[in-house]
Amino acid sequence: MKHKYSIVLIFISFIAFSAHAQDTVQQKDLMGLIFGEKKKNDGQSRKERRFEFGALPYIAASPSSGLKFGAVSNIHYRLGNDSTTKKSAGTVSLAYTTKKQLYFYFRDLTYFPRNQWAADFDIRYNNNNENTYGLGTQTEKSAKELLNFSTIRSNISLMYRISKALYAGGGINYNYYYNIRGYEDTVSDPYYQYNTSLNINPTHSTAAGFNLAALYDTRDNIINAYRGINLRATYSVLMKILGSDQAWQHLWAELRAFKSLTANHKHRLALWSYASIVFNDDVPYMNLPAVGYDLMGKSARGYTIGRYRGNQLLYAELEYRASLVPSDLIGAVVFVNASTASTPDKSIKLMQYVSPAAGVGLRLKLNKFSRTNISIDYAVGKHSSGFYLDISETF
């Protein structure tokens, strides 16, 4: 598999440095270099449209999925006047991986005219397989057990603007894990042992309920921010009366902060941190907080999705971003992250064990209007490493 990653990296690098030969101070992107920059009648390049839509064949890679092939459509749009309405962004993706996984997801954050309302959509279907290692941040890599499962997920929140950048509201949660299988050794398998000890069906689980949501957002761009902060908090209440197998609550609190170090935004810092906490002792295993279980499944580069799991999880990441050429066509990042998780029986507490990782990456400007990048990263964690290829920033 490693030689396939190398081929992809060499191919992307060839595009980057071929494009660099045509580089000028004018801002450029790969879409313009490949398909040509559209000009207006007066010879000037077009300005940003109210709707920026792009659909592309999709190649990605990560330790959890191997190579991923499919199609992705990014929509960057504004529903109201440019001076009074923020830009909205949505992504639809369908992909199949070399590990025989099928992914479909729709992610969207919409700001309505005059920013009076904001809607957050997270809808997905996965036919997946994933290694699990037990609970807490002290688990050994040798303890992994493979689980196969399918997921249907629909989390939607509608929020009303309280102040200039603060929104509050609520919505619905529905998460269904089914066809869960793979625990051949029921004595040692952490998933099977945990669920059966709580009389939870090991083959499927349903979490259904409602959420209370708050959003504070001052980012200048949703897809790739140069400045501003994004605070998000969701308190979910899962109830048997609404179809949930178990009754429990979950808190998600997240911070993303962006700071330009220079006036031309060529050098930037980006910070991402979140807390994911459940408040009951009988939460199904697949619903426990885990690294990589964020909205886009991108936390903890250097580790596989689900590598660390527990009833409480804290995560933090710091990334330095730089433009390498005057046109912003090519950029680079350096990042560090850390994860810590506790166990429901309190034998392992938060911060008792911390798993760090660090890495470097290359950025190629795919669309200069939406600031969408192709990202190529390599990260090293504790007894773990990974190559990542994707369209969009990690956060």
pLDDT in tens, 190-234: 898 899 888 888 999 999 999 999 999 999 988 899 999 999 999
Amino acid at 350: L
What is this structure's pTM? 0.86
Compute the average pLDDT of residues 7-12: 45
Residue 10's pLDDT band, with cuts at 50, 70 and 90, is: very low
| String of DSSP letters for 156-177 | EEEEEESSSSEEEEEEEEEEEE
Residue 370's pLDDT band, with cuts at 50, 70 and 90, is: confident
Compute the average pLDDT of residues 341-351: 93
239 has a pLDDT exceeding 50: yes
Top mean pLDDT of 53-57, 292-296, 320-324 is at 320-324
Supply φ then ψ for residue 67, to 5 degrees.
-80, 140
pLDDT in tens, 265-305: 999 999 999 999 999 888 999 999 999 999 888 999 999 99
Q: Residues 83, 113: contact at Cβ < 8 Å?
A: no
14 has a pLDDT exceeding 60: no
Q: Mean pLDDT of all residues in the chain?
A: 87
Contacts of 250 (CB under 8 A, 6+ apart): 234, 235, 236, 238, 276, 277, 278, 279, 283, 287, 289
pLDDT in tens, 119-162: 999 999 999 999 999 999 999 888 888 999 999 999 999 999 99
Residue 11's pLDDT band, with cuts at 50, 70 and 90, is: very low
- Torsion region of 176: left, alpha or beta (phi above 0 gives left; psi -120 to 50 gives alpha): beta
Residue 80's pLDDT band, with cuts at 50, 70 and 90, is: confident
CA distance 22 to 116: 44
Residue 35's pLDDT band, with cuts at 50, 70 and 90, is: low
CA distance 323 to 332: 6
